[in-house]
Structure 1
Amino acid sequence: MVLQDREKKLEVQPNWLQAYISSSEKQQQLYKRTLVVVVLSQIFGGAGLAAGITVGALLAQDMLGSDSITGLPTALFTLGSAGAALLVGRLSQRFGRRFGLTTGFLAGGIGAIGVVMAALTNSILLLFTSLLIYGAGTATNLQARYAGTDLASSTQRAKAVSMAMVSTTFGAVAGPNLVGVMGEFAQSVGIPALAGPFILAAAAYILAGLVFFILLRPDPFIVAKAISDYQSTTSKVEKNSNLITTNRRGILAGAAVMVLTQFVMIAVMTMTPIHMGHHGHALKEVGLVIGFHIAAMFLPSLVTGYLVDKIGRAFMAIASAVTLLASGILAAMGPADSMTVLITALALLGLGWNFGLISGTAILVDSTPPSTRARTQGSVDVGIALAGALGGGFSGLVVAHYSYPALSIAGAGLSLLVIPIVIWGGINRKNKVCQ
């Protein structure tokens, strides 16, 4: 009866959807078109997420007059991104990527506007509330990477993720380096300088949402689900090695890699601007260091995606741990007044995160069928966001009670947990995870 019900549903599929189900050529055309749309939206989305990373802690420090909870802004917008990740995942599962991603980006833009209003009125409550909503943009920017994988083959998935991430670089690197310009613009219209980057964030997130709303047609996730339903009703299902089934061990391994690398990266990154401020670095220098950090988070993605697909998920996840270890040691041991040391340490921090996110994402996509994929991805991204919230929240306490070098060493040690997780995952040379 279940099989008959599925067949009946397939018979009533609209003609345009049946055309994609029956044509691998049309599927590849839509896959490539989706990548173009994702790339365009991520350019705007990258500029939006950079504002909170660069000046969120500094804005809170200015409004609160204290260092001990300057990690709270990062904790708030990453906590907000956790709730948004769950919502965007559920909306995408039910209505498609277009609706879910559009909603998330527009919410992030509204949150950024709220931050500007909070700075104008010097309202701490409005600031914290707006940062929670602003986190929706961060979550959506991250979840957009999944859109390119919906119609990708097993040898294209990491590359699809990397295309989304590398395009984020253009906006994400420009954002921190426009801190000074946006600050001057904000002051010229009577807004505090540190709120200036959030004006850019509001415009960027809203534009990213409009790109998805207008251009992501047909929806790749809806097409992928229809193809999966069709394959599950054919007599060749058992012989079809490309049919993806739920692999809980793979889901846990991929999620753990991404959660750990996110926690370490957010914790160290959050307190770097405060650390630099204590050692006399100007706001433009902070923007430069964070710019290099974000470039390293996203720019190497094309190479990383190729390596993850060709060399393997496990190898690149372990490379993530080693790179984060090197970053933590350098940040802790190097002279705090050296821009070269700070740029190198933060670039390695971003690169280690990049390795972990792309390899972990590929493992997760390998392990989930379209029937549950977006919902599972949203749930995993909740964990990633919560890890970021914890990292941002604890980082200020650690630095206030101990030091920035202590925070960096702790992050380096935690990153090594990725290695036993990968070994437990049992990912073989063909990038499959043992059941």
Structure 2
Amino acid sequence: MARAPVAATAPDRRRLQGRVVRVLAAGQVLGGLGTGAALGLGALLVAEVAGSPAWSGMSATMGTLGAAVLSVPLARLALRRGRRVSLTTGAVVAVLGSLVVVGASVAGALVPLLLGVLLLGAATSLNLQARFAATDLAAPATRARDLSLVVWATTVGAVVGPNLYEPGESLAGALGLPALAGGFVIAAVAQAAGAVVYLVGLRPDPLLTAAADDAVRAPADAVPARPVGGLRVLRATAAARRAVLTVALSHAVMVALMSMTPVHLTGHGATLTAVGLTISLHVAGMFALSPVFGHLADRWGRRQVVLVGQAMLLASLLVVLVGSESHVAVVVALVLLGLGWSASTVAGSALVVTAVEPARRPALQGVSDALMSLAGAVGGALAGPVLAAVGFPGLAAALVVLVAVTTAVQLRPAAAPTPSASTVG
């Protein structure tokens, strides 16, 4: 017989939260190693198999589309079975996607290759969900910080991963695979290890524990909130719409510019090592300072940090506009792009968490992740043709519009948060 849920004491909850953050961080290190090893290689592999660089943007498109398709089912799975089952399932799907990519590269088959990249998008879905999992048991005053610590943990693997391009080539040669497939072998192994970490480490489950605590602490005559779909929550809550739009459009800008950078650099004679270093520095910008942005979001305000992030995104695009022929300028732009994405995503995600009451957060989070990934898919899909038509500076100019829209939304007067959104744990 299952025991009735018992509310955790404050010290117990703090200890459990600390362990949850450590487990999520370990999983993110492994997941970041896997996605980092494949980041950038997808665009090159698709272009190689398709025989045209115009197809290169389809790698980012399919990866982010896969994340969008899988985000809502994984969020629903988390709501029913907890974060542990949801994150483990996402990692297993990512392993399958990596193996499909390897097989398709051997066969030189474009459609299976794109399908594998789509399944590999599960790695992004679980990466996004993990940051929200860090807030399930977090104290209100430290939600952004705890979220940012999990985002930061991706730095280790994601920065090292792109520098495994050449070791990946050696591994591919030893296994008799195409040179670009080696990174995806590394991704499969890393994601499998991450699945084990989530399966073993997330006991008790943070989301289920938080739900049990809320049920025990609720008044005896309280009516439990009915499950509501994330889209309905989004339509009903202006604060949620604003936060989700910020995260989604910031991600679209980042994906569009980042996904075309390897193609631009190799087209100008850069080696795979140089491309890998550039992507590593970009990923460092995305993740390394996220705890700083999380701390500032808790201290200064989430909306203020979002505006700082938008300013850095705009600066990145201006550097590309004036210095696209310089590798150094492209590196500077990619670092600024990563920093702007980090500030906007950390603070924007904290706004998503606080926009609604706890019972409706997982549904909203799933929709937020889906829309974020869809925005990235659109950005990646449009980036290839724009690059082919007007070049790298033209792509940056087009993205300025998206940054301007996101900034304008944030400059509108903010509505006061509801008591349930601002005070519940």
Cα pair 2:91 2:122 within 8 Å, conserved: yes
Which residue number in structure 2 is paired with residue 6 of structure 1?
none
Q: Match for 1:219 among 186, 205, 227? A: 205
| 1:416 CA displacement | 2.0
Which residue number in structure 2 is paired with residue 257 of structure 1?
246
Which residue number in structure 1 is paired with residue 184 of structure 2?
198
Which residue number in structure 2 is paired with residue 361 of structure 1?
349
| 1:369 CA displacement | 2.4
Aligned AA (2:271): A
Which residue number in structure 2 is paired with residue 129 of structure 1?
115
Which residue number in structure 2 is paired with residue 242 of structure 1?
none
| 1:28 CA displacement | 1.0
Gap regions ≥5 residues in structure 1? 1-11, 238-245
Q: Match for 1:96 among 67, 82, 105? A: 82
Aligned AA (1:55): L
- Structure-to-structure mapping, 1:159-174, within 5 angstroms: 159-174=145-160
Residues 26/235 of structure 1: CA separation in 2 closer, same or farther (3 Å cut): farther
Aligned AA (1:51): A
CA distance in 2, matches of 1:432, 1:391: 35
Aligned AA (1:387): A
- Structure-to-structure mapping, 1:100-111, within 5 angstroms: 100-111=86-97
Which residue number in structure 2 is paired with residue 9 of structure 1?
none
| 1:424 CA displacement | 3.3
| 1:390 CA displacement | 0.4
Cα pair 1:108 1:135 within 8 Å, conserved: yes
Residues 299/143 of structure 1: CA separation in 2 closer, same or farther (3 Å cut): same
**TM-score (ref. length: structure 1):** 0.90
Which residue number in structure 1 is paired with residue 10 of structure 2?
24
CA distance in 2, matches of 1:382, 1:425: 26
CA distance in 1, matches of 2:91, 2:244: 23
Alignment of 1:330 onto 2:319: yes
**TM-score (ref. length: structure 2):** 0.92
Q: Match for 2:141 among 129, 149, 155? A: 155
More displaced stretch, 219-228 vs 164-173 = 219-228
| 1:410 CA displacement | 1.6
Cα pair 2:324 2:393 within 8 Å, conserved: no
Residues 219/315 of structure 1: CA separation in 2 closer, same or farther (3 Å cut): same
Which residue number in structure 2 is paired with residue 5 of structure 1?
none
Alignment of 1:349 onto 2:332: no
Structure 1 runs (4+) greater than 4 angstroms displaced: 234-237, 427-434
Which residue number in structure 2 is paired with residue 243 of structure 1?
none
Alignment of 1:403 onto 2:408: no
Q: Match for 1:286 among 258, 275, 287? A: 275
CA distance in 2, matches of 1:433, 1:424: 20
Aligned AA (1:299): A
Which residue number in structure 1 is paired with residue 228 of structure 2?
none
Which residue number in structure 1 is paired with residue 297 of structure 2?
308
Cα pair 2:37 2:163 within 8 Å, conserved: no
Cα pair 1:92 1:375 within 8 Å, conserved: no
CA distance in 2, matches of 1:413, 1:187: 44
2:44 is paired with a residue of what secondary structure? helix
- Structure-to-structure mapping, 1:376-391, within 5 angstroms: 376-391=364-379
Cα pair 1:257 1:356 within 8 Å, conserved: yes
Residues 210/253 of structure 1: CA separation in 2 closer, same or farther (3 Å cut): same
Deviations for 1:66-108, whole angstroms, at most 9, x for unmatched residues? 1212101110111011111111101001110001111011101
1:42 is paired with a residue of what secondary structure? helix
Which residue number in structure 1 is paired with residue 3 of structure 2?
14
Deviations for 1:113-152, whole angstroms, at most 9, x for unmatched residues? 1101111111112101111111111111121111110011
CA distance in 2, matches of 1:210, 1:106: 10
Aligned residues: 411
CA distance in 1, matches of 2:359, 2:421: 19
